[in-house]
Amino acid sequence: MTETTLYLLSAIAVMTAATFTTRLLPFVLLYRVSDHPLLTWLGRFLPPMMMVLLIVYAFKDSAGEARAVLLQLSCLLLVALLQLLFRQALVSIAGGTALYMFLLQSAGG
């Protein structure tokens, strides 16, 4: 094995261990307080708050461009409709992404 290969494998091993540790640590440290009211509240309200932040982030650069806002709004409405109909996040995400890519390509960016 070359030095470069060994370096890459070592880096991958360290990243794997770090990722695994950061995913495992909250479960290990918080298992006794999992029914705490604050954690229950965060579990209920944090996902919708994150969705709102993602929507704001997605729209922030196109605030002055009516065409871009219309394109994004149409995709957002499709995602909301698909979510209401199917209750499947992957279906909603795939449908919205497909529409966005189609409109973006057909409208010329």
Grouped pLDDT means (10 residues each) for the chain, 109 residues = 92 97 91 87 92 88 83 94 95 95 83
Burial of 91 (0-12, 13-18, 19+ CB in 10 A): middle
Cα distances (angstroms) measured from residue 93 to each of 57, 61, 62, 72, 77 = 16, 21, 20, 13, 12
Instruction: State the chain's mean pLDDT as an integer.
Output: 91
72 in Cβ contact with 59 (< 8 Å): yes
- HEC-encoded secondary structure of 56-95: HHHHHHHCCCHHHHHHHHHHHHHHHHHHHHHCCHHHHHHH
Is the entire prediction scored with pTM above 0.75?
Answer: no
Q: What is the pLDDT of residue 60?
A: 87
Question: Tell me, what's the pLDDT at 90?
Answer: 94
pLDDT at 37: 92
pLDDT at residue 108, rounded to an integer: 64
